[in-house]
Structure 1
Amino acid sequence: MGCDGGTIPKRHELVKGPKKVEKVDKNAELAARWKYCALSTEKLRRPIVSCDLGRLYNKDAVIEYLLDKSADRPNSEVVTHLRGIKDVKELNLTDNPAWEGEMRNTKGDRYEDMNCAMFICPVVGLEMNGKHRFCFLQTCGCVFSDRALKEVKTDICHKCGDPFREEDIVVLNGTKEEVEKRRELMEEKRAKAKGTKKPKKCKVAETRSKLSDSKENPDSTGSVSAESNILTQDVDDGSQPAVPGHSGSSSSSKVVKPLAASGSKRSIQSMDEKSEIYKSLFTSHSSAKRTKDQTSNWVTHTPYHF
């Protein structure tokens, strides 16, 4: 059995077996997760933020997404849990002194270490390249390796000194199980926050009820109106209330006049108890009024500039 030209095919050329599963390069996968933004797939650059699930983003990419969520983005599924800028925390990272930059091997005549990372752990010195577990604190945003937190057990941040709890520790780029646990905790926190906050309708109803109660039970205004009614009744009956310091039988006792209504206004010029000198201080006095001969015409001048 042969083909044209007298060639003899081999077995692997005639019999096709199952396709081999393509394996992803581990170094490439780690570089994609630790050196590139999870949303924009661009290289990570300061300022770098992270969410409650431990994913790394560029802050400008997150802001652009929050401003326009309707835009088509390749990895928009990764940030569906973000509602606002408060859902991310800016990371306080420590630079790696051995990092020479992205253009360190432009000529191609030097060895390029793929495991070299931009940032390191400030306590142990491990590089943040994906081969070691790294965490960040939600209180201050400082980033440490998991080994540093286990070896030096404390409730105070190693870098800035702020206190923290175990719930504030978030693993960066954790496994699926860790991400699911963090998602459950995030949903519980949001549910508690919604329960503590009162809706606006309830606040408006409370304010209205307070106003209605104050109208129904006015203490100060009710006492004043009651006193004024009592005084007016006494005057109408002809009884003269006694003034403190004088006897009731004396003829010099003054009659207390009823209080004027709050809405009515009384002119000063009509008050008989006021003197003319006091009345002349106001513009409603006859001396303050001018005649037509005393008043001058209103003259206006509009200059024209050419």
Structure 2
Amino acid sequence: MGNDGGSIPTRRELVKEAARNPNTTQLKETLREHLEHFWTTCPLSHKRLLHPIVSDAVGNLYNKDALLQYLLPGDDIEAISSKADCDEVLQGRVKSLRDVVELKFEADGNAEAPNGKQKGRWICPVTQKELGPNAKSVYLVPCGHVFSEGAIREMKADKCLQCNEPYESTDIISILPTDKSEKERLKLRVEELSHRGLAHSLKKLPGSSKKRKKNRMDANGDVENGIKSEPPSNGKVNGSSKTPILSSTSAPVGIKNADTAMLTARVLEEQNERRKRKKTSGTSDAVQSLFTSKNKKGGNNNMDFMTRGFSIPH
């Protein structure tokens, strides 16, 4: 039998067949299995993809609740995965909800899940073909409606076929692309949008408007050559009162989704509470009681915590 101490087997006896490169059929099958996994599983939570589903700038799919859990402040993200694993998956592409688009799939509606949510195949609203690993699919920015690639290519329209939202040819995003040229196109699109001060969802990046205002010339002297001048002492500019600054605890403005607005308001409230605790965490009353602040009637000016309660004999 060999390898029992009585004899030494040769390589010819151990290796029956030489290693071969996978053929085209095997490569396609491996690719299909890879796509099927990411069409059905969130890479952050490793759970099944369920509505609502969002996509980043390169067409990857995530559960929105898992992404919100990642974006919330704090290190407690046990509900999804470790912080390092999530960073490796996202690779810095998602820093806020501006960097993702919520997708709007159309299902055939042949069955319903026990929890009441719709269950079934995702289909193209134009061709009625199933969307998934066996068909190339795309979605439009910013509306997020999903179609088959063939339907968008044949229609050649500049408005969404579902909501009439206008879009450009560069705003057609492939879902889980496999071609290197398509991946490079999506990366170049993100770079161009960043130069324009826009995120993947075509929303303005934070601070982009401030940079533009910094380079403008203001005739009133408020901002000139990027140098900010001091306002008048009466608190008015050009005869009108200043616009009041909104508090950090005010309701989020511009967030249409109720769940996202509620989560954002909760985060702002927690941050405000932490700021208040830091401001009030100065010298405690117990430490202040060890020293005398001001002279009191009948008190000893030289009294401190070392001599309090004791009298020095003359």
TM-score range, shorter chain: 0.5 to 0.7
Counterpart Cα distance in 1 of 2:20 and 2:113: 38
Match in the other structure for 1:85? 97
Conserved 8 A contact 1:136-1:143:
yes
Match in the other structure for 1:283? none
Equivalent of residue 223 in structure 2, options 195, 206, 216: 206
Counterpart Cα distance in 1 of 2:19 and 2:113: 40
Counterpart Cα distance in 1 of 2:89 and 2:106: 26
Conserved 8 A contact 1:48-1:57:
yes
Conserved 8 A contact 1:155-1:163:
yes
Match in the other structure for 1:169? 172
Kindly provide the CA deviation profile for residues 44-67 of structure 1, in whole angstroms up to 9, marking residues without a partner as x.
000001111111110011111111
Counterpart Cα distance in 2 of 1:16 and 1:147: 46
TM norm structure 2: 0.53
Kindly provide the CA deviation profile for residues 125-180 of structure 1, in whole angstroms up to 9, marking residues without a partner as x.
12112121111011211000011112222122111222221121111111233222
* Equivalent residue runs for 1:107-146 within 5 Å: 118-146=121-149
Match in the other structure for 2:249? none
Larger Rg: 1
Cα 1:205/1:11, change in 2 over 3 Å: same
Q: Percent identity?
A: 34
Cα 1:142/1:200, change in 2 over 3 Å: closer
Structure 1 residue 178 corresponds to structure 2 residue 189? no
Amino acid paired to 1:91: L
Quote the offset at 1:202 in angstroms.
4.3
TM norm structure 1: 0.54
Kindly provide the CA deviation profile for residues 196-249 of structure 1, in whole angstroms up to 9, marking residues without a partner as x.
52249949962954846x99xx99xxxxxxxxxxxxxxxxxxxxxxxxxxxxxx
Conserved 8 A contact 2:103-2:139:
yes
Amino acid paired to 2:130: E
CA RMSD in angstroms comes to 4.3
Structure 1 residue 60 corresponds to structure 2 residue 71? no
Equivalent of residue 38 in structure 1, options 43, 53, 56: 43
Conserved 8 A contact 1:142-1:159:
yes
Cα 1:74/1:158, change in 2 over 3 Å: same
Cα 1:183/1:14, change in 2 over 3 Å: closer
Conserved 8 A contact 1:117-1:128:
no
Cα 1:120/1:42, change in 2 over 3 Å: same
Match in the other structure for 1:74? 85
Once structures 1 and 2 are overlaid, which stretch shifts more, 85-94 or 187-196?
187-196
Cα 1:202/1:33, change in 2 over 3 Å: same
Kindly provide the CA deviation profile for residues 81-120 of structure 1, in whole angstroms up to 9, marking residues without a partner as x.
1110111111111013456769xxxxxxxxxxxxx97311
Aligned pair count reads 204
Counterpart Cα distance in 2 of 1:19 and 1:69: 49
* Equivalent residue runs for 1:234-253 within 5 Å: none
Counterpart Cα distance in 2 of 1:3 and 1:165: 67
Amino acid paired to 1:76: D
Cα 1:124/1:184, change in 2 over 3 Å: same
List structure 1 segments (4+ residues) > 3 angstroms apart after TM superposition: 1-12, 14-27, 68-71, 97-102, 199-205, 207-212
Conserved 8 A contact 1:99-1:118:
no
